[in-house]
Amino acid sequence: MGTFFDWFTALLQYMRTWAAIGLLCLVLTWSFSAQAVSTIDPQLEQQVLQIIREHPEAIVESVQAYQQQQQQKIKQAQQAFLEELKTNPQTVIGESPTTGSTKSKTVLIEFSDFQCPYCAEAHKTLKELLAKYPDKLRLVYKNLPLTSIHPEALPAATAAWAAHQQGKFWQYHDALFTNQKQLGEALYLDIAKRLNLDLGKFKRDLTLATPAITKDIQLADKLAVSGTPFFVINSPNFSGVVQLSDVNSILADAK
């Protein structure tokens, strides 16, 4: 009886530990809401903290297991994306703006931010590559406005999308990067006028851009894209994430 009681007591303690850890996760989630914080039972909070002090290794193991699960999900999403890009590139391209050869076997996906200075530099290199390999490259633009550090990134992406609805995305895209230091409402309207866009339609389309831009952002999140510019390429001799500096050699080697 004593042996069984000891075993049963240990089991209960183990179950309490993991139950408390589960409650801790809820507490941490609730902590993001000021209203929820006010409803937390102080006694429960102290019990959870006490278990953490007594079993810190359980927390570490749980965090590590969660991180591994997340990394595996990201890896699977990336692999599925690359496979889709190989077998059915149009599904990946969707309604995104493209330039270059529509018959090219090499597709370069770019995640970019109109206020990012590194994207502006990449823009110059991409123009050179498109001119050098007009029949070998198809470039696809995906939006990833880093709004936390670039306040004009989303408004600029919205304006470019509106221009895209009138077939002038790439001209508008080039003008935004050329005038990157002047990004703002006045510039967006001025570029639209210079490109002879229908201003009434342009202004209406500004209110309709959110779903398309959000879709690009969600794709970037799914692929764990953390910065811009970010490139993924599918070509006859290479497929995967690529540095822009390597694209020239990939295109040169492509048959």
Q: Measure the CA–CA gap between 66 and 6, rounded to whole angstroms.
A: 31
Over the chain (255 residues), the average pLDDT of each successive run of 10 is: 41 46 48 52 80 76 77 84 92 97 94 98 97 96 98 98 98 98 98 98 98 97 94 94 94 81
Measuring CA to CA, how many Å separate 214 from each of 21, 76, 155? 34, 22, 13
Measuring CA to CA, how many Å separate 157 from each of 55, 100, 124, 165, 183? 49, 21, 18, 13, 11
Predicted TM-score (pTM) of the model is 0.74
pLDDT of residue 59: 73
- Contact between residue 107 and residue 67 where contact means Cβ atoms under 8 Å apart: no
From the list 171, 207, 212, the residue with the least C-alpha distance to 192 is 171
